[in-house]
Structure 1
Amino acid sequence: MAAQFGRRVVKGAATTAVAAVAVAALSASQAPGVTDTAQGRQNTGSQPSSDPDADNSATGNSPYYTDLPPLNSPTPTPTTGTGTPTGTGEAEAGIPATVLDAYKKAEAALGESKPGCNLPWQLLAAIGKVESGQARGGRVDANGTTITPILGPVLNGNGFARITDTDGGAYDGDTTHDRAVGPMQFIPSTWEWSGRDGNGDGKKDPNNIYDAALAAGGYLCRFGWDLSDKADLRRAILSYNNSTHYLNTVLSWLEYYRKGTHEVPDGTGTLPSGRSDDNNGSSSSPTPTPTPPGTTPPSSQTPGGGGSTSPSPKPPTTTPPPSTPPTTPATPTDTVDHLEDAGTAKLTATAGDAFAEKIATRTETEAGKAVAKVRVRFTIVGDTDSVFTGGESVATVVTNSAGVATAPALKAGEKTGDFTVRATVVGRAVTGLDYKATVTARQADALARTSDTALTCVAGGEFADQVELKATYKGAAADGVAATATLIKAADDATANDKGPYFKDADGKTVRTLAGLKTDANGLLKLPKLYADDTAGTFLLRINTTGGATLTVELKVTAAPSSSPSPSAS
């Protein structure tokens, strides 16, 4: 988070009291097996198996605001010059109008697209508060775009995570390292796949609160998480920023906003002050120039800022050798030279089914040595509705000790044909590795009537019984299988007959071929009512399915009884 707000030197006693109470109250809800490091980052013994992206947070674990909700007060005190109450519950409950609108619209959109997620807009508000102070107190234009960009610190490994550039500076303006961007603080590599167009302008802009709020909601709703479930809620928040302290801070604001909020004008929201990186050893102050050996520091470099009466040191008699700038140690990602397939078998599945095989990719150095702790992104490419478990088209997985990243299971959609899953290294320009996957049509290998009643009809009438069939594949019900029914001329002539029984289309016209039929969830297929013309005889109905199942049904039409002659007049 880059928004640097003026920091209050002394916080109110009420805020301090609430902070102590909130942390104590929330400690029981922390994720199991989670501890904080000195930098407020989280260590976990193991990640949930349903969360392959747990080591790749939305923010890159960037700093965040640590202010906790204050005690509610019935008499808020306005801040001089702003007219906005601050330092009290009423003031903190105010959310800038456009920002609040974006949160509520994101909740509504996710309620339609992923109703099982149960995303509350108050959770987006809590994260927005912690990430950017509600877009710097609502400093956005009429379209929801921030007046000035909100950029997090450079993720160069100096006090923060080290993430080399992934977007060519397109989002964060940095072509060397990544930075978190916008009011919801997405790093570019996450925005690349999670970005959304929330205001319908045809663009996915991380600096727009409508786009960012919808993207944050989608991010929190992946992997089939149900945010009304406490365990899933914790997983989702920790996936946004991998810190227990972050989890507790967001939860405290979530509960606070659930108790009531109100709208305030854009640009008048209260601004947070405390940041998680205040004491992590990083500083924006310039580092003092090293003092040559054997000399006394000048008064301007004396701890405490001066006041020393010590005489100035004499210049050294020899010129010190030039200092070598410190080099940042290479990360595992920096050592990756190429990707190798880690024994992935042929990827084929029937429409609607899960792929039996999973994609496994190994990261290797130039010498062929496996590299652990590298983020590998798997992206589904092509005209397909197939997805990973949880309904996502992108998943990021960290390589294990053998250098292998295994993608989540693939689930085939209804679109048949080939598509590609591409593996790439996050934060490293390495040629991607493509895997071909094939979705075949649903099929049946057997058809049978569900009744053995003879199908008979009088010429010119209609059949009393409809033809009902059951399709199976390898003994199991074959659902969603395409079928065609044709009234054929003969057993060895499958062309459509031009006489005998027939179906009717929607307009009541005679048809003797029905295409586009499909079995139901139980593999059943019930044909429309059959009618007979004036031709008597034995006729054949043939049904074919995808997969080669065929059934021929016999239909009998008897001649209509002749009418008795009228008695003569004599």
Structure 2
Amino acid sequence: MAAQFGLRLRKGAATTALAAATVAALAASQAPGVTTDSAGRQTAGSPSPEATTYSEDTASGDGRYYTDLPPLDSPNPSPGTGDGSTTAGSGERGIPATVLDAYKKAEASLRDAKPGCNLPWQLLAAIGKVESGQARGGRVDASGTTIGKILGPQLNGNGFANISDTDNGAYDGDATHDRAVGPMQFIPSTWEWAGRDGNSDGAKDPNNVYDAALAAGHYLCRFNWDLADSGNLRSAILSYNNSTAYYNTVMSWLEYYRKGTHEIPDGTGSLPHTPSDNGGGTTGNGNTGNQGGSGSTKPSPSPTPPNKDKPGGGKPGGGSTPTPPTPPTPPTPPTKPPTNTDTVHHLEAAGPAKLTATAGAPFTDRIAARTETKAGKAVAKVRVRFTVVGDTDTTFTGGEKVATVVTDSTGKATAPGLVAGEKTGAVTVRATVVGRTVAALDYTATVTARRADALARTTTTELTCVANGEFAEQVAVKATYKGAVAGKVAATATLIKSPLDPTENDKGPYFKNPADGKPLRTLTGLQTDKDGLLTLPKLYADAAPGTYLLRIETEGGATLTVELKVEAAPTEATPTEATPTESASPSAGASQ
């Protein structure tokens, strides 16, 4: 299906040679100094291009992918052909409708959840093309679930990574070794923590393109990677499959889809032809279009039965009993030396015994574990997975709850920094050895509530009102902790009887219950805002004049007592009746 530099590829030896040569050349041009093998994978001793501190499990287990490159013509439909679904090569250029919708919905979700990641849906489309040919050309049902599972080859070390079963075959149907699963080819151990519910049906199914696309988006956005940065983009792609050729192939499709694309009906997409291992390795489960290969290994022929027509060949009376031919002895497979992981007997705590942080703040100390043999000898180059378990919003830096770290020369693996969430209490972080069943090591980190050690009013206005009236100004305070703003700190406000009796008063000023308007003299569940500010509801006064006290307290011990004065209502003056002026008597002696 693929064309490289104007030459359409066909299956066969020539195709394989051309694909390998082209990919190797492209890899060399984009990654100077990196040594690759004939399949474009990094050879032993080559530095990892991403060179990140944390060696996260690759999403696909570095399994099989497809090396077919985009055609030279435009990904947009030709003029006059509608959606392009009937034109030659349209299945190669277009993206099946449901699959395309899943990619775009995942991009929209990540835009809200992790806006700093800048994930383009075209990157998901490029990885989906390389991993499974867009879910085998869009063979999905109405809900986005693939029609038949897409399984990669058995990861048994034969041309691929050696990953023993981690899911009891729950996802991949293989209880011996893991296989990559679904349209985005997640290995079960990675899906266990990276899986997402992309279609809101309450399940996390790696075979559903909505779930798989959203999981791939979150996987690519971990560690605060900004995919608009070329270095972060490279690290993210290589974390999916640590192969330079893989990176180059994905980038080719990413640039192709960025030029434009179009929607085609589900099930009409073309299938890729050129696997990265040239068809080698263990085949898949035999499903049609299985990424692991739809063929099956031919059974060994049965030993040739004895020829009954020869003398003594088993006929009655034919002489001595014939000796059956001895079946050939199968060759003894070479004994593989134990890997570093195979020698790990247990995990030992190598970090601080106690970790505490205030809600929303980073933990100062970091969790660490050491891998050791039974004799207590340190084991280097072993992957240790740290997982934040339970119902908590505490995460590692970057918002992830899982990180895998390779032990150093002393056998020590140090987890990324923890960031406390808003939920207070104990948090469990579990360390396990990837690829080896040994007892897990649990660490307890404690998240304490945000605190304030000082409160102050934001104004100095005297708070007064008349009986049966309302206070003109609302009480507003600012909380600080060690001189810094104390945001999101829990607080209470109580109208108390006296400095020596902090119980709730039964008269004087009051708040109004928002539900029924009745007097309320204690407020709980208050919280300062991000700037440490808290404004209380309006205060009212009953008929009792006097001086009253409002006490505000915060988590951490900050206390402020505010004085409230209620003055007696002025008495209305009774109007005085004027006495009419009597008429003057006639002067004595006045003549009549």
Q: Give 1:479 deviation, angstroms.
A: 0.9
Over 3 Å counting, the alpha-carbon distance change for 1:359 and 1:323 in structure 2 is same
Query: What's the CA shift for 1:481?
Result: 0.7
Deviations 1:495-514 (A, max 9, x none): 11122122223254322111
CA pair 151-401 structure 1, distance change in 2 beyond 3 A: same
Aligned to 1:68: 69
Q: What residue number does 2:54 align with?
A: 52
Q: Take 2:351 and 2:430, find their aligned partners in 1: how far apart are those partners?
A: 15
Amino acid of the residue matched to residue 436 of structure 1? T
Cα contact 1:541–1:555 (8 A) shared by 2: yes
Question: Which one-letter code corresponds to 1:69 in the other structure?
Answer: P
| In structure 1, C-alpha distance between the alignment counterparts of 2:161 and 2:24, rounded to whole Å | 28
Do structure 1's residue 349 and structure 2's residue 357 form an aligned pair?
Answer: yes
Shift of residue 246, structure 1, vs aligned partner: 1.1
The 10-residue stretch of structure 1 (279-288 or 253-262) with the greater mean CA deviation from structure 2: 279-288
Partner of 2:182: 182
Q: Which residue of 1 aligns with 2:572?
A: 563
Q: SS state of the match for residue 169, structure 2?
A: coil
Match of 1:397 in 2: 405
Change (3 A) 1:250 1:61: same
Instruction: Provide the residue aligned with 2:555 in structure 1.
Output: 546
Q: Which amino acid aligns with 1:65?
A: Y
Match of 1:524 among 523, 533, 536: 533
| Equivalent-residue separation in structure 1 for 2:23 and 2:424 (angstroms) | 56
Against the structure 1 CA distance between its residues 490 and 403, is the aligned structure 2 distance closer, same or farther, given a 3 Å change threshold?
same
**Cα distance in structure 1, aligned partners of 2:214 and 2:411:** 34
Identity of aligned residues (%): 69
Partner residue of 1:514 out of 502, 505, 523: 523
Asked whether 1:131 is paired with 2:122, we answer: no
Relative to structure 1, the CA distance from residue 282 to residue 495 in structure 2 (aligned partners, 3 Å threshold; closer, same or farther) is closer
Structure 1: gaps of 5 or more residues: 1-5, 77-82, 290-318
Do the aligned residues in 2 keep the contact of 1:445 with 1:471 (CA within 8 Å)? yes
Relative to structure 1, the CA distance from residue 561 to residue 265 in structure 2 (aligned partners, 3 Å threshold; closer, same or farther) is closer
How far did 1:280 drift?
8.4
- Name the amino acid aligned to 1:59: S
How far apart are 1:542 and its partner, in Å? 0.6
- Could you say if the C-alpha distance between residues 322 and 134 of structure 1 is closer, same or farther in structure 2, counting changes exceeding 3 Å? closer
Q: Does the aligned pair in 2 maintain the 1:84–1:269 contact within 8 Å?
A: no
What letter is aligned with 1:463?
F
What whole-Å deviation, never above 9, does each CA across 1:198-218 have from its counterpart, x for those lacking one? 233333222222221221112
Say whether 1:436 aligns with 2:444: yes
The C-alpha deviation readout for 1:125-158, integer Å capped at 9, x for no partner, is 1101101111222233333333332222222222
Could you tell me whether the CA contact under 8 Å between 2:479 and 2:533 is conserved in 1?
yes
Q: 1:540 to 1:180 in 2, by over 3 A?
A: same
Shift of 1:40: 2.5
Counterpart secondary structure, 1:464: coil
Q: How does 1:132-281 map to 2 (within 5 A)?
A: 132-278=132-278
Distance 2:242 2:77 in 1: 37
Q: Deviations over 1:329-371 (max 9, x none)?
A: 2221111111110132411111111111111011111111111
> In 1, are the aligned partners of 2:340 and 2:381 still within 8 Å (CA)?
yes
Contact 1:27–1:248 at 8 Å: present in 2 too?
A: no
Tell me the residue number matched to 1:9: 12
Give, as a single letter, the amino acid of the residue that structure 2 aligns with 1:443. Answer: R
Note if contact 2:91-2:264 (Cα within 8 Å) is conserved in structure 1: no
Q: Across the two proteins, how many residue pairs are aligned to each other?
A: 521
Distance change >3 Å, CA 416–CA 34, structure 1 → 2: farther
- The corresponding residue for 2:455 is 447
Q: Which amino acid letter does the alignment assign opposite residue 553 of structure 1?
A: V
Instruction: Give the conservation status (yes or no) of the 8 Å contact 1:469–1:524.
Output: yes
**Retained in 2: the 8 A contact 1:501–1:539?**
yes
Q: Normalising by the residue count of structure 1, what TM-score does the alignment of the two structures yield?
A: 0.83
> What amino acid is the match of 1:502?
Y
Does the 8 A contact of 1:40 with 1:244 survive in 2? Answer: yes
Q: Check the 8 A contact 2:153/2:282 in 1, yes or no.
A: no
Give 3-state SS (helix, strand or coil) of 1:384's partner: coil
Query: Are 1:379 and 2:387 an aligned pair?
Result: yes
Specify the structure having the higher radius of gyration (Cα): 2
- Cα distance in 1 for partners of 2:232, 2:272 equals 28
Query: Structure 1 residues 33, 45: CA separation in 2 closer, same or farther (over 3 Å shift)?
Result: farther
Q: Deviations over 1:397-443 (max 9, x none)?
A: 11122111111111111111112111111111111000111111111
Distance 1:325 1:145 in 2: 40
- DSSP 3-state at the match of 1:203: coil
The one-letter code matched in structure 1 to 2:64 is: P
Q: Name the CA distance, whole Å, in 1 between partners of 2:386 and 2:62.
A: 21
**Deviations for 1:506-549, whole angstroms, at most 9, x for unmatched residues?**
25432211111111112122222222222222111111111121
- Provide the residue aligned with 1:40 in structure 2: 40
Q: 5+ residue gaps in structure 2? A: 1-8, 79-84, 284-295, 302-326, 580-592
CA distance in 1, matches of 2:496, 2:281: 83
2:58 corresponds to which letter in structure 1?
S
SS at match of 1:36: coil
Can you list the C-alpha shifts for 1:79-125, whole angstroms capped at 9, x where unaligned? xxxx9655x5x442122233222222322332333333222221111
2:104 is matched by which residue type in structure 1?
K
Query: 1:108 and 1:47 mapped to 2: Cα distance?
Result: 27
Q: Which amino acid aligns with 1:373?
A: K
Amino acid at match of 1:196: R
Give me the whole-angstrom Cα distance separating, in 2, the residues matched to 1:371 and 1:469.
56
